[in-house]
A and B are shown apart, each in its own frame.
Chain A
Amino acid sequence: MKETKINLTLKVWRQESAKSKGNFEEFKVAVSPHSSILEMFDELNNRLELEGKIPIAFESDCREGICGTCGLVINGHPHGEKKKTATCQMHMRSFKEGETIYIEPFRAKAFPILRDLMVDRSGLDKIQQAGGYASFNTGSAPDANAILISKETASLALDAAECIGCGACVAACKNSSAMLFVSAKVSQFALLPQGQPERYERVQNMVIAHDESGFGSCTNTYACEAECPKGISISNIARMNRDYFVSNLKLQNV
């Protein structure tokens, strides 16, 4: 059976390094509607290598929307226009025959471009290291249901824990703020009893790390929530704001 392919014009951002100047390069591709946008890049890169050209650098890992490694800005939308979908799950059937697609890297001062579509997201790691964990004593595993948690609270915590740390919130934000990310990481522990001992130090340290990594401030435009591939709610940002306020009154640091 012969497969029908769709013809697309790609405008892909090419940039050699963080310091060099980038520009768009145009490619004409004929691609199966069933392939994902990353598979399309794989095919295109094979072609470029055969032609002796430098392939396009982009990141990916699991390709099933859970690792947070991939992340492209497709026609102005981080992870593409389709809601709650990561770049790797974006299929070429979402595009029309003959369409021109602009593909850019995540843009933020805190995400310097490494090459082409790859950016350095280690700013998010610094935030995580500042407090995105809960400490436990080692030893035998505690009883599973020793601490009771209501279904509603558990669901909210799990919703926050869905954050894959891809950085789309930063890419979508006009201020390049990572507050949706920080708030998800703060909330997943703040909601649960196990997260209480470090609750207020955590929010303080993570917000400080956020500001130091060069991200902007949240001005409540909610673009992050609209573009998040995991649908993380801005109610997490509200919870983090509240915890940050309380932490300033509670903690003994002067």
Chain B
Amino acid sequence: MSWLSKSLSSSIGKKIIMAITGLSLILFLTVHFINNMFLFFGKEGFDMLVSSLDAVKPIVRVAESMLVILFGFHIYNGIKLWWENRQANPEKYAVNAAKENSTFFSRTMPYTGGIILVFLILHLASLWVKFNFGMEGTHHYYDVVAATFQSLPVAIFYVFVMLVLGFHLNHGFQSAFQTFGWHHKKYTPLVEFIGTAYAVVFAIGFSAIPIYFFIRSMGGN
């Protein structure tokens, strides 16, 4: 084994992979978030935005391949960490005092991650496939989104997962900084604040979309 793969498969190495891919995915989410916010500024704006991305398809495909690699490493390592850590701690205490020494968000990372993975697969299989291969030459992307969230179960599922995503990010953001070794009395509270702010903004912003379209569809519009 080369020094690189040896180092990256050590317990700290796996953390470093989680942190680098995690922060990169947050960057992707930021772009995704900004694009999604165009939904609130009407049909024309959003359709034009997605059409303009359609026009530079090769670049989008390169970005998507990078995302596949990032997600791949993040998910593979996450599952590996979860499994190995379960093996390292097979016997549980009769009295569980975990809630008194750690946060809910930090303890549930593998589970919130798992829920997000299920969502990711469904989200790609529905909206991404539709946007990329199911438009039949038209550019009515906005209508596709609006139609998707007419269904109450779909809307509820999206809102639930966005809340879970917020939980995941709330721990993940500051955790990445700790992994890189950036921990200091003076700026760690700021990092924690930014992470929580990110989590809250993403959770509220993303879940506003299904809520908005579902309520609109109720109004018969």
Name A residues whose Cβ lies closer than 8 Å to a Cβ of B.
Answer: 11, 24, 73, 75-77, 81, 102, 104, 107-110, 172-177, 179, 207-208, 210-211, 214-223, 226-227, 234-235, 237-245, 248, 253-254
Contacts and interface: CB of A to CB of B under 8 A. Distances in A.
A75 B101 CA distance: 13
A53 B73 CA distance: 55
Contacts of B10: 207-208, 211, 244
Contacts of B7: 244, 248
A225 to B, nearest CB: 8
Contact of A235 (B88, B101, B184): B184
Contact of B15 (A108, A217, A254): A217
15 contacts: A75-B97, A76-B95, A77-B97, A107-B93, A174-B89, A207-B11, A217-B12, A220-B178, A222-B102, A226-B101, A226-B102, A238-B182, A241-B181, A244-B7, A254-B2
Given A207-B11, A223-B101, A241-B179, A104 B94 contact: yes
Among A107, A207, A218, A242, which residue has the most Cβ atoms of chain B within 10 A? A218
Contacts of A254: 2-3
B94 A215 contact: no
Contacts of B84: 216-217
Contacts of B89: 107-109, 173-176, 216
A208 B178 CA distance: 20
Contacts of A176: 85, 88-89
Contacts of A235: 183-185
A226 B171 CA distance: 17
A214 B88 contact: yes
Contact of B106 (A76, A208, A222, A245): A222
B100 interface: yes
A242 B178 contact: no
Contacts of B112: none
Contact of B95 (A75, A244, A245): A75
Given A11-B94, A241-B180, 8 more contacts: A73-B93, A102-B93, A109-B90, A217-B84, A219-B81, A226-B102, A238-B178, A245-B181
A73 B98 CA distance: 12
A243 B178 CA distance: 13
Nearest to B14: A217
B90 A219 contact: no
A175 B18 CA distance: 16
A210 B13 CA distance: 13
Interface residues of B, number: 43
Contacts of B15: 217-220, 241
Nearest to B185: A235
Interface string B25-69: 000000000000000000000000000000000000000000000
A41 B112 CA distance: 42
B91 interface: yes
Given A109-B87, A173-B89, A245-B181, A220 B106 contact: yes
A110 B88 contact: yes
Nearest to A77: B97
Nearest to A242: B181
B20 to A, nearest CB: 11
B165 to A, nearest CB: 18
A179 B11 contact: yes
B175 A219 contact: yes
Nearest to A217: B11
A107 B88 CA distance: 10
A210 B3 contact: no
Interface in B134-188: 171, 174-175, 178-185
B88 A108 contact: yes
B92 A217 contact: no
A220 B171 contact: yes
A163 B14 CA distance: 25
A235 B186 CA distance: 12
A242 B7 CA distance: 13
A12 to B, nearest CB: 11
B221 to A, nearest CB: 46
A78 to B, nearest CB: 9
Contacts of B4: 248
Q: Which of B90, B101, B109 has the most CB of A within 10 A?
A: B101
Given A174-B89, A222-B106, A238 B81 contact: no
